[in-house]
């Protein structure tokens, strides 16, 4: 403990007294003052009319005794003088949807919420004990699904970066961001990004996120590497734009199956098990892994652009576009020997399961924009897929194929129009051929009442087949082989949403969803088989025939008083269903009380406080390491315990330093009952620290 605080103190002092201002200073300007940098034209004076000498303190004598006025350096009125300088707002980040933000080096409570392994707010998920492990869902949203099915193993995909997760950069000088954080036992987390430009038209970035964590329990080691590089180009006439990225990702983890005997964790009388590495676990020989490579290209060519309307709104233009994606992805589960938890008498040992998916996506578009009509885009897409295993399996129930292969052709479009304070947007996709996708429709209305208040509403409707591992799966374990292409139907979602964003009242979001043909995993094990530790041996995919209704209301409001602040986030959910297949807590809250102040003569900005997170008890989903998926269980409830974290954060120039005591209330807990999933305890008290450092060249 002393070493940690000494290291933090040393780091703060080193950063405070040794770091230079990382934003490049403005270039030195010529000794002529900027305010007097223009010389007025010399007036032509007729020397014959100068009968009287001109008296002025700035006058000088010539040999002809004619006095001329020395020209003074003055700035003509209304002239804008360019200054060669760079500000933090010139370092721009462009998302997949082309939303542009600039690099933010501030320290806020939202930055505290996002300083984690996912680098986004984890309010609606429950992390496992170790870093890089699955996240159990506490809140559900059904309107953000992809249009096409994906490989599956969704519990293991939390750190997998999809096309929509890649950012592009436009920077005036090279910029680097380093994010570092300690993990649990023998490991660190580092996310490094280097963005640079070769010219005003061409920008690029190279990034790598890597980590390793041994974990507190046995056979729980995790590690991953996420490499990505991006390129973007815009010609001088701004008529052609291109962006591209390449990713290579490798996510690995040992799978111990959770606790073998819960009393070793929950019984307070067994002091020897406070060392979590002494607790017995289910597996000592299982691993799973996700590997993926992706090549992405998006380019647009503006055929014409009439600029006469640009001062009144959108210029009249016609743009052609093409988007291309090629991706290969594998999911592996290996086990050196059979285990009864997944079933007896496997086909072969050791266990070596591999599911493969190769996809190629092409989309062409034509976009017409006009200040009167708005922005209208039409698209046509071709999606090719090949999901396969290495063998055809013959069972008593029939033959299980080794692949699902085909093409999907769809058309669509989107529309955007601003009517002053009112904004309309919508998009549509309609599948012409293929069996995977259906239709997708989104529409949203935003109205800005004033600078402090805005309301919006939207509707969503979509249909598509579930992920590939629901439709077809093969394993060396006999119970994990199925094909549901002929029996499963497309999942359908209808959704309506409303939100209010008010500086005075806070931020309120409400969403209602109706889901048909909901697909899920569940175990069919009897109570006797569950008592024998074979619940996971009978996990299979199912589809719910009745309609499920889901309501969620989320509210955020922050109260401030002088240097103190209280940030509150509340999520309420209600599910109406004939069969209990969607399990979520009814109430989820997070409250943060913190103090902020500038110290050391304003050289450091300090922020410290306590965060409390709580959710009501519910039938928490169980985790299946063979599939990399969560499955429904309705036998026992978990939750109704607080998670208390104490943090001290500091900002020095462009460096943010983070120190957190996570789940410190376990120091006062006599009977541990905190779980992330059945048989998977949440982490005990631990102190972790790290930093985010931006520097520029």
Mean pLDDT per 10-residue run, the chain (697 residues)?
Answer: 42 40 42 36 37 39 39 46 69 94 93 95 96 96 91 94 96 95 93 95 96 95 97 93 98 95 83 88 95 97 70 77 98 95 92 97 96 93 96 85 96 94 95 94 96 96 96 95 95 97 96 97 93 92 96 97 97 96 97 96 95 97 97 94 96 94 91 93 95 92
The position carrying tokens 């050289």 is 603
Helices (H), 372-422: none
Supply the Cα-derived Rg of the chain in whole angstroms.
31
Q: Which two tokens stand for residue 656?
A: 């943010």
Among 436, 430, 441, 380, residue whose Cα is nearest residue 408: 436
Backbone angles phi, psi at 619, to 5 degrees: -75, 90
For residue 350, whether the previous peptide bond is cis, meaning omega lies within 30 degrees of 0, is: yes
Q: Which domains are delineated in the chain? A: 92-696 (2.40.170.20)
Q: How far apart are CA 294 and CA 449, in angstroms?
A: 43
Among 679, 654, 650, 682, residue whose Cα is nearest residue 666: 682
Detail the DSSP E strand segments found in 128-239: 135-137, 168-170, 175-182, 188-197, 202-213, 222-234
Question: What's the pLDDT at 401?
Answer: 94
Q: How far apart are CA 569 and CA 643, in angstroms?
A: 14
Q: How many residues does the chain have?
A: 697
C-alpha torsion angle, residues 159, 358, 96, 173 (rounded to 10) = 80
Q: Is residue 351 classed exposed, middle or buried when 0-12, 13-18 and 19+ CB atoms within 10 A define those classes?
A: buried
Q: Which two tokens stand for residue 512?
A: 């209602």
Sign of CA dihedral 471, 475, 481, 486: positive
DSSP letters for 279-322: S-BS-SSEEEEEEEEEEEEEEEEEEEEEGGGTTTSSPEEEEEEE
Q: Three-state DSSP class for 650?
A: strand
Is residue 493 within 8 A of residue 484, CB to CB? The reply is no
DSSP letters for 536-571: GGGEEEEE--S-EEEEEEEEEEEEEETTEEEEEEEE
Other CB atoms within 10 A of residue 151 CB:
22
Q: How far apart are CA 587 and CA 552, in angstroms?
A: 10
Question: What's the pLDDT at 671?
Answer: 82
Question: What's the pLDDT at 477?
Answer: 95
């Amino acid at each position: 403990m002393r070493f940690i605080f000494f290291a933090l103190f040393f780091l703060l002092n080193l950063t405070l007294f040794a770091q230079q201002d990382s934003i490049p200073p403005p270039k030195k300007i010529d000794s002529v003052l900027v305010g007097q940098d223009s010389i007025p034209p010399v007036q032509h004076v007729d020397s014959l009319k100068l009968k009287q000498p001109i008296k002025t303190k700035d006058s000088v004598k010539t040999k002809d005794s004619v006095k001329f006025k020395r020209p003074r350096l003055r700035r003509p009125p209304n002239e804008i003088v360019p200054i060669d300088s760079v500000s933090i707002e010139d370092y721009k980040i462009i998302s997949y949807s082309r939303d542009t933000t600039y690099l933010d080096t501030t320290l806020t409570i939202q930055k505290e919420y996002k300083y984690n392994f996912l680098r986004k707010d984890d309010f609606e998920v429950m992390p496992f004990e170790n870093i890089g492990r699955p996240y159990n869902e506490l809140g559900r949203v059904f309107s953000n699904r992809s249009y096409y099915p994906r490989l599956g193993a969704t519990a293991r995909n939390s750190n997998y970066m999809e096309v929509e997760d890649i950012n592009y950069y436009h920077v005036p000088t090279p910029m680097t961001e380093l994010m570092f954080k300690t993990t649990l036992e023998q490991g660190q987390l580092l996310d490094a990004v280097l963005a640079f430009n070769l010219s005003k038209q061409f920008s690029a970035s190279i990034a790598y996120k890597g980590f390793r964590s041994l974990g507190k329990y046995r056979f729980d080691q995790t590690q991953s590497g996420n490499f990505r590089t991006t390129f973007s180009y815009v010609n001088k006439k701004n008529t052609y734009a291109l962006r591209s990225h390449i990713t290579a990702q490798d996510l690995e983890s040992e799978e111990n199956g959770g606790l073998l005997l819960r009393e070793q964790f929950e019984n307070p009388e067994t002091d020897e098990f406070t060392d979590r590495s002494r607790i017995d676990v289910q597996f000592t020989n299982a691993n799973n892994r996700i590997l993926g490579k992706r090549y992405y290209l998006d380019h647009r060519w503006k055929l014409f652009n009439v600029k006469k309307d640009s001062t009144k709104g959108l210029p009249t233009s016609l743009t052609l576009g093409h988007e291309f994606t090629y991706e290969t992805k594998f999911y592996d589960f290996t086990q050196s020997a059979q285990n009864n938890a997944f079933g007896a008498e496997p086909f072969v040992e050791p266990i070596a399961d591999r599911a493969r998916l190769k996809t190629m996506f092409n989309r062409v578009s034509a976009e017409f924009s006009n200040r009167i009509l708005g922005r209208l885009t039409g698209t046509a897409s071709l999606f090719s897929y090949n999901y396969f295993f290495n063998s055809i399996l013959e069972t008593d129930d029939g033959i299980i194929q080794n692949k699902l292969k085909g093409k999907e052709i769809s058309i669509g479009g989107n529309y955007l129009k601003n009517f002053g304070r009112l904004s309309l947007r919508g998009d549509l996709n309609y599948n012409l051929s293929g069996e995977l996708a259906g239709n997708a429709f989104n529409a949203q209305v935003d109205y800005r009442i004033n600078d402090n208040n805005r309301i919006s509403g939207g509707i969503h409707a979509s249909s598509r087949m579930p992920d590939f591992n629901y439709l077809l799966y093969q394993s060396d374990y006999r119970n994990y082989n199925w094909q549901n292409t002929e029996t499963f139907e497309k999942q359908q979602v209808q959704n309506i949403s409303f939100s209010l964003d008010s500086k005075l009242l806070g931020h309120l979001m409400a969403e209602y969803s109706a889901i048909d043909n909901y697909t899920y995993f569940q175990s069919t094990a009897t109570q006797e088989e569950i008592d024998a530790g074979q619940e996971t041996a009978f996990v299979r995919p199912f589809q719910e025939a009745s309609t499920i209704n889901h309501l969620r209301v989320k509210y955020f409001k922050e109260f401030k008083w002088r240097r103190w602040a209280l940030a509150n986030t509340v999520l309420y959910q209600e599910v109406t269903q004939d069969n209990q297949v969607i399990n979520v807590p009814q109430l989820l809250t997070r409250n943060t009380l913190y103090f902020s102040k500038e110290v050391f003569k304003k050289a450091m900005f300090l922020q410290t406080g306590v965060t409390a997170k709580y959710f009501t008890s519910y039938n928490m989903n169980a985790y299946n390491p063979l599939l990399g998926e969560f499955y429904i269980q309705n036998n026992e409830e978990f939750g109704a315990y607080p998670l208390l974290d104490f943090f001290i954060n500091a900002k020095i120039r462009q460096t943010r330093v983070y120190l957190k005591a996570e789940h410190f209330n376990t120091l006062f807990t006599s009977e541990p009952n905190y779980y992330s999933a059945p048989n998977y305890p949440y982490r005990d008290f631990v102190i972790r620290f790290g930093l985010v450092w931006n520097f520029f060249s």
